[in-house]
Structure 1
């Protein structure tokens, strides 16, 4: 540990890196009733802490090694650090990246002067290919985590934390991919202030350090999830394992939904967007606090990066509410007759409905997929389920059902045989508590609802698609009634999306 402290104190990182701020998170702190601070490594020039270790390693290269050029394998953040450092030092840099790497990271590496080679479906395949190219062309391999100089460079994060927060610290939560950041921070913090707990955090679907510690040495996982691509490492390094095994106080694993919730927390407090790996440590901190496992004192999480594709945010927004246990997804069976929807919504009281999906099916019962906003997490969800079942409704909890969350919620529907006189309307109404119930109150029992889709997207206006069975002789009455409801509406019966996927006679309308 003394050798690493010396390396950290003498490391060369600030030629390219900056000392990042340690910032309080007032909103999250109030909610958790604990002081929470965030180390903003997302503010580095390459939007990730990886620049520290990459440059510190490359600063140690001899003149002969610099002339040969360098090569690395990376899912993106280490690659950007190597590329920037190489450009500053006038060194050729070849970067092998998995084909699954987000485009924003590939483009950033190229803009920084790196020569990108895309290979393999994950980091380990890219690393193996990089080793082959290094042997073939004589490049110096710059390892992303299992190198003492890289570990020491990452350890400067711990050095800064000790300077920035000399008072009591309960725990520091650190994301783990290959383990370089966790090893470097733990080496410095445990040498200087051994009372501070250093806790690693891994995704449940890529817990390679936890598996290594359980096995007594690095082991290769059969597969890893790619949502948090910055930490999607199948096997940790030998050196990082040795340090983390000896110095980490604990390792916490979290779900993808919990990571999404942490991304939202960072945005709410900082107005900053973290990549999934960047929010990983905060997700672990939240989990420890919520289960009563966090030590006393202020808690620090490392935001390790912000290199995320914009389109990834669609998934994050969809799952964040579930990740913070602020939304329940339920499949509920209700009677199939007019007025059932209003009765069901009334039963839920003033709770906000986030989603409501239904498609007519023959029979006496109807299955609906409903999302409900929660203010008291799993306890409130249990109360809602008890309330519904007490009224004779069959309820299935879909909140943690991956197939339901990813697919089925978007597939409730389809064509229905022998469904007569269906017309489809789109409505828009101001989004506020009780708005959905008010809308349903405006639809009388004179017409049967055959389709209903509503999803709260956080906008000012709620949008609903409704199928209504309208016998021809009541057509004028319906139009007159829709006008009295007072919400903007559009007849979408001839919309090609409806005709192609929901209408039982699509050809007859084309």
Structure 2
């Protein structure tokens, strides 16, 4: 039972390396939410993440013989840095196996702390398989990122601190979930000490392995995992975390990438620190809970769990923030292609701020414009705008939730290509590392003409590409076979409204 972790958590002697992080009130977001919001600042740990707690606690439990043979772990980020620092502190040899897609900032951080870094494969699973091979070959001890009782107990010290730091009633605590180590440790402690406090796990909507497990009443493996919040991009919840979590939480909340971006901005405005997407995930869940329940006057805690993000990701995060905050709406609007149409359209919008306006001449009948507008998140502004435009005879398509429109089309609006017959459109994700784009193109080249291509580096582990192929209908099955053989996640976007309006 989860209660068995209480003694482990109380006995975790980690504070000669990990620090007790502050529990800070967030006045700006509290005022907006009409609830008291507190941030547990795990971004202030020596490695800018809570992961140092579990890694160090695990090393403290090893025998002298195990320490002498060294430790190994597979990690693409925060666990690697936590283990590297803990190993350096105890004088233990550490080998970290990372995917080749790991950003240089994380590789350098592990090396700087004295660990040997081995780059293997494109995914965590490939890196993990190599780490297990080293365990067999060299007798090293594997230090799991989450599926281990000592690691879970180390992470549980976050809950021990926050309940000591805030003696008043706490209505709910929101905890990010990837493999589940943090949530397992924290929820076990909170439910034992303050059973009246609700505990909500928060996951990305495209990496919700805990929700899938609870729905199926067993652990399942997701067929595809979203990569935006790389710190929680896990296909299957850990076995031991799942056993603990399912008995000690009150629900699961999922958040989109846009909602995480908005939460990153919220954390910045209250703390002037920039979290990684996974680091702001719990706040995104908190905001969603408040919006859905309409509660006021409550006290909530969000875990600011990490701040290891690449600087070049900030552009994408910033662009997505307004949509995630529901303060920007994106529409495709059809207006007559004749003098005075733009002035008439803009007059109808009144004094609303236009955030984006894209147009390219296509024919002398209709003009399709891509327009972004600032809206209010509280009064169905998107729906009001769409209805107002439609009532004046405009054809309107709301693209605020259209991923292809947001990631690609808004940067491509340039006109239709009637000469590009038999065009099929696909969206891909491929490992982001030097030479990856060339390799991707080489695999696709030769059979069919590429009629459109858009790639944009978002500073993440995987690149996103929108590609058009000119493929005769009788060869569609051959194309599908080739795409499956590529091994990259993809989706057919030929019928996507954004493409049809502006580029088809």
- Give the drift of 1:315: 1.0
- Matching residue of 1:155: 156
Q: Give SS of 2:150's match.
A: helix
Structure 1 residue runs without a partner (length 5+): 418-510
**Structure 1 303/217 Cα, relative in aligned 2: closer, same or farther at 3 Å?**
same
Matches within 5 A, 1:70-109: 70-109=71-110
**Structure 1 47/354 Cα, relative in aligned 2: closer, same or farther at 3 Å?**
same
- Identify the range of structure 1 (99-108 vs 32-41) with the bigger mean alpha-carbon deviation: 99-108
Q: Give SS of 1:246's match.
A: coil
- Matching residue of 1:505: none
1:411-441 CA distance string (max 9 Å, x none):
1115999xxxxxxxxxxxxxxxxxxxxxxxx
The 1-side partners of 2:18 and 2:179 are apart by: 21
The 2-side partners of 1:46 and 1:307 are apart by: 8
Q: Give SS of 2:268's match.
A: helix
Q: Give SS of 1:350's match.
A: coil
> Residues 102 and 308 of structure 1 are in contact (CA less than 8 Å); yes or no, is this contact kept in structure 2?
no
- Give the drift of 1:282: 0.5
Structure 2 residue runs without a partner (length 5+): 419-504
Q: Provide the TM-score with structure 2 as the length reference.
A: 0.81
Tell whether 2:308 aligns with 1:311.
no
The 1-side partners of 2:188 and 2:272 are apart by: 32
- Matching residue of 2:351: 350
The 2-side partners of 1:293 and 1:143 are apart by: 39
**Structure 1 239/376 Cα, relative in aligned 2: closer, same or farther at 3 Å?**
closer
The 1-side partners of 2:156 and 2:320 are apart by: 33
The 2-side partners of 1:414 and 1:75 are apart by: 40
The 2-side partners of 1:170 and 1:296 are apart by: 10
Tell whether 2:274 aligns with 1:252.
no
Query: How many residue pairs were aligned?
Result: 417
- Matching residue of 1:203: 204
- Give the drift of 1:134: 1.2
1:435-485 CA distance string (max 9 Å, x none):
xxxxxxxxxxxxxxxxxxxxxxxxxxxxxxxxxxxxxxxxxxxxxxxxxxx
The 1-side partners of 2:327 and 2:320 are apart by: 10
- Matching residue of 2:126: 125
Q: Give SS of 2:206's match.
A: helix
> Residues 40 and 304 of structure 2 are in contact (CA less than 8 Å); yes or no, is this contact kept in structure 1?
yes
Determine which structure has more spread, i.e. the larger CA radius of gyration: 1
- Give the drift of 1:102: 2.6
- Give the drift of 1:90: 0.7
- Give the drift of 1:122: 2.6
Tell whether 2:33 aligns with 1:32.
yes
- Matching residue of 2:410: 409
The 1-side partners of 2:137 and 2:296 are apart by: 51
- Give the drift of 1:294: 6.0
> Residues 360 and 416 of structure 1 are in contact (CA less than 8 Å); yes or no, is this contact kept in structure 2?
no
> Residues 170 and 295 of structure 1 are in contact (CA less than 8 Å); yes or no, is this contact kept in structure 2?
no
Q: Provide the TM-score with structure 1 as the length reference.
A: 0.80
- Give the drift of 1:96: 1.1
Tell whether 2:281 aligns with 1:280.
yes
The 1-side partners of 2:121 and 2:24 are apart by: 38
- Matching residue of 2:441: none
- Matching residue of 1:166: 167
> Residues 124 and 234 of structure 1 are in contact (CA less than 8 Å); yes or no, is this contact kept in structure 2?
no
Matches within 5 A, 1:451-490: none
- Matching residue of 1:134: 135
